[in-house]
């Protein structure tokens, strides 16, 4: 896997970071151990 951004935590801030990174054309992965969104 060739990632440019790894976000650990899928709460509101983590999901937002993943969305904005994707909009900028970065390959991002958001990891969350529970339910996404916090």
* Model confidence, pTM: 0.83
> What is residue 37's predicted lDDT score, i.e. its pLDDT?
80
In angstroms, rounded to a whole number, what is the distance separating the alpha carbons of residues 5 and 13?
Answer: 14
For the chain, state the CA radius of gyration.
9
Please report the pLDDT score of residue 26 as a whole number. 97
CA distance 9 to 17: 10
Work out how many domains the chain is built from and give that number. 1
Judged by DSSP in three states, 24 sits in coil
Buried b (16+ CB within 10 A) or exposed e, 5-27: eebeebeeebbebbeebeeeeee
Q: State yes or no: pLDDT of 38 exceeds 80.
A: no
- Is the model's pLDDT at 9 over the cut of 90? yes
pLDDT score of 1: 78
Instruction: Show the domain range for 20.
Output: 1-38
Residues 12-35 have pLDDT tens digits of: 999 999 999 999 999 999 999 998
């Amino acid at each position: 896997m060739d990632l440019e951004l790894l976000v650990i935590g899928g709460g509101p801030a983590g999901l937002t970071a993943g969305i904005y990174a994707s909009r900028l054309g970065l390959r991002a992965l958001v990891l969350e151990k529970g339910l996404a969104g916090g």
